[in-house]
Structure formats: structure tokens, C-alpha cells
Structure 1
Amino acid sequence: MNISPGDVSMRRFYEAMVAVITPRPIAWVSTVDAAGTCNLAPYSFFNGVGVNPPTLMFCPANRADGGPKDTLANIRAVGEFVVNIVTEPFADAMKKSADETGPDEDEFVLTGTDKYPSTRVKPPRVRYAAAAIECELLTAMQLGVGPGGANLVVGRIVSIYLNDSILDAEGNPVPEKVNTIGRMGGPTYTKTNERFS
């Protein structure tokens, strides 16, 4: 079976994409608006881009009304964001932070997630995250319009916080200690604590 974007609904094509592009890492993005209100939301179209310059990308889709999500609006206004790495202890809070709320709502508060000041950017990081990547906006491109319209955000990495619990004796992060979770198709997730070479 072959399907093409023009032959099926956008929802059907999305379901096919997320069923086979797996597992997807989750960017739990923290931002602030111009008034200082914090936002925290997960995005599973996310990955690193390169190291020269050190960059990462994630793709926030538009809201159901066709407007930008608070994350994207905040990044455009302030030019900074933090990608918090999601591990098993944060699964429930991460899922709850995906709920659409008003721009004046602080998802850190709504999910009971502690915040902590970042080193180089205004948005705070998740306090007990295994790692948090501080970024300055490099570019934000609108790829689609209307409800579900895709946007591409590329950030220049300016600092990475590494929790001591994931480091070896030399201060290097150990993947087996990070135990991130990944997004699968539909409302399901996967653990990454089983590995092979």
C-alpha cells in the first residue's frame, strides 16, 4: 500500500508518519514570554542538527485555531528556549504539559514541575532533568499554514546542563544512565533502557 498526502486526510497521513518514524526523542521545551510568564510543552519532532555550529531543531505545529502555539510565539518574541530531556520520572508531567492552555498559564505550576534558572538564557530549565540544552534562536521557518501547520525551529546551543547522576568519573554523560523515553505512534511511549551493539 502506498499513500500520498493529497490522497488521504492530514490526520491519516500524520498517523502513518508517527507510526513508522519511531522512536522519536522528546524535546520538553521551556520558554518565557515578554512579560516573564513561563511555558513548558513537549514536541516529538525533535533532534540534533550538527555540532559546527552546535544546533538542534524541533517542529511545533500550529494550534487548532491555526495560530502559533505559545512555545513558538515566545521563542519569536524572546529568541531563547531550553530543551529539557525527558526521562521516566517526568513522563506524567510531560504528558500533562501537552494540554492546550492559555498563554497566561504556567505549565511548570500546572504540572507541579520545579523550575531552575538557566545559565545563559532567560527561560528556566526543569530543575531535576537529567539534561537541559539552552538555546538561542537561529531561525524559525513557517512550513505550513492553518491548523496543524508545521513550523521549524532551529536553535544554536549555548550551554548544556548535565545532572551529576548521569556522569561517569571523568564527567562524561553515560547514555545508560540517562534512560530517556521516546514517543511512538498514537498516545504511546517507549523506554530506552535496553540496548545492544
Structure 2
Amino acid sequence: MEFDFAQLKPQERYKLLTALVVPRPIAWVTTLNRDGSVNAAPFSFFNAMGSDPGLLVLSVGNHERTRPKDTAANIKRRGFFVVHMVSEALAPAMNLTATEFPEGMSEVEAAGLELAPSVHVPVPRIAQAPAGFECKLHSVLEIGHNRLIIGEVLQAFVHDEFVADAHKLHIKTEALQLIGRMHGRGGYTRTREIFEMPRISLEEWQARQMEKTP
């Protein structure tokens, strides 16, 4: 079956993209509202996109056709945000912060989250999150009705219990029990089942080809 994106509506493209591009990591983002209160919201159109400098990119849409979501407006106004990784234990709280609460109602309070000060940015962290990144806004790229927010990472943080060797930067990734976004309105996946597949060198591949030669 072939699907011509030029012939599809935006929501139809969304259904295909989210059904096929899986699993997607979740950016649980905190920003500062205009009144200084903390906004928290999750986004699954997100990933790391570079290490020199460290870059995270997330796509944040609009409430309606033209009014940006609070996260996008806050990042543009303040220039800073914090991205948290979501553990399985925090999944219900993360999901609750996606609720369209009325203006003035705090997602942080509703989800029972605790905040902690960041090191390099004025935006607080979610204290319970096992790991995350403090970011400053690098640029915003708008393509059609897509808004790509590019953040430069200033600081990474990981709870001590998940650090195997700080000097070597070895993280107990599996112990984080992070979750990812799948398809549908409520599809998620765990990251517990990991398999190893070492990269094959050119020499190893050539040796295998020689073995196949009669």
C-alpha cells in the first residue's frame, strides 16, 4: 500500500507518522509562564539531534490554528526550558500534565510534582524525574504549521542511583525504566527489553564474504 502525503489531510499524515515512527522518546518540558508559575507538558515529536553543541529538538503545535501552545510561547518569551525523561513510575503524572487545564490551573500541582532549582536556567526541574537536560533556546524553525524548537543543552542531570561511573559517563540506562510513545491516543512502550547487536567492521564483513566464496 502506498500513501501520497500530498493527497492526505494533516491529521491523516499524523496518524501514519505516529503509527510508523515508533517508539518515540518523550520530552517532558517545564517552562515559566508569563506570571512566573511553572508549566509542565509532554511532547513526543522529540529527539536529540547533535552533540557539538548538544542539541534537542521538539515540535510544539498550536492550541488552535494560530495560537501557540503555552510551552512554545513560554520558550519564545523566556528563552529557556528543561526537558525531563519520563520513567514508568512517572507515566501517570506525565499523562495528567497533558490535560487541557483551564488558564491559571497548575499542571505541576495537579500532578503532585515537586520542583527543584536548575543550575544554569531560571526554569525549575521536576525533582522526581530521573534525568533531564537544561536548555536555552537556539532557534525556532517554522515549516508550514510545524514549529521546531531547537534547544542547546547547557546541563544534563541524572539521579545518582542511575550513574554507574561518573568519570566515564556510564549511565545505568536500563535501570531508568524510561517509556516511549507508540501509536494511537494512549499507546506507550517500556524500554526493559534490550538486545545487543555489535556493529560489523568492514574487515569482518569481507572475511564473511570470503567464507561464502566456493
Structure 2 length as normaliser, TM-score?
A: 0.86
- Structure 2 Cα separation of the partners of residues 10 and 36 of structure 1: 34
Aligned to 1:126: 126
Superposed CA RMSD: 1.4
- The structure 1 segments of at least 4 consecutive aligned residues displaced by more than 6 Å after TM superposition are none
* Correspondence for 1:66: 66
Question: Corresponding residue for 1:174?
Answer: 172
CA 1:160/1:166 → structure 2, altered by over 3 Å: closer, same or farther? same
Q: How many residues align?
A: 193
Contact 1:118 1:124 in 2 (8 A): yes
- Helix, strand or coil for the counterpart of 1:6? helix
Mark the runs of 5 or more structure 2 residues left unpaired by the alignment. Answer: 197-214
Give 1:173 deviation, angstroms. Answer: 1.4
Taking structure 1 as reference, are residues 103 and 136 closer, same or farther at Cα in structure 2, changes over 3 Å only?
farther
> Aligned-pair distance for 1:65?
4.6
Contact 2:43 2:59 in 1 (8 A): yes
Larger relative contact order, structure 1 or 2 (CA cutoff 8 Å, min sep 6): 1
Sequence identity, in percent? 35
1:62 Cα deviation after fit: 1.3
**Alignment partner of 1:19: what SS?**
helix
Question: Secondary structure, in 3 states, of the residue corresponding to 2:101?
Answer: coil
Aligned ranges 1:47-196 → 2 under 5 Å: 47-144=47-144, 149-170=145-166, 172-186=170-184, 187-196=186-195
SS at match of 1:151: strand
Which segment is superposed worse, 168-177 or 114-123? 168-177
Q: What is the CA-CA distance between 1:59 and the residue it aligns to?
A: 0.5
Instruction: Give the 3 Å change call, closer, same or farther, for CA 125–55 of structure 1 in structure 2.
Output: same
Q: Deviations over 1:74-117 (max 9, x none)?
A: 00000000001001011011111111234433211121111111
Q: CA 1:182–1:109 in structure 2 vs 1: closer, same or farther (change >3 Å)? A: same
Q: Once the 2 structures are TM-superposed, how far is the Cα of residue 10 of structure 1 from its aligned partner?
A: 1.7
Query: 1:39 touches 1:105 (CA, 8 Å); kept in 2?
Result: no
- Measured at CA, do residues 131 and 140 of structure 1 come closer, stay the same or move farther in structure 2, by a change above 3 Å? same
Asked whether the equivalents of residues 27 and 46 of structure 2 are also in contact (C-alpha less than 8 Å), the reply is yes
| Contact 2:165–2:171 under 8 Å retained in 1 | no
Give the partner amino acid of 1:45: F
- Give SS of 1:112's match: coil
One-letter amino acid matched to 1:174? K
Task: Name the CA distance, whole Å, in 2 between partners of 1:120 and 1:106.
Answer: 24
Q: CA deviation at 1:13?
A: 1.4
Name the structure where helix makes up a greater proportion of residues. Answer: 2
Q: Quote the Cα distance in structure 2 between the aligned partners of 1:33 and 1:118.
A: 16
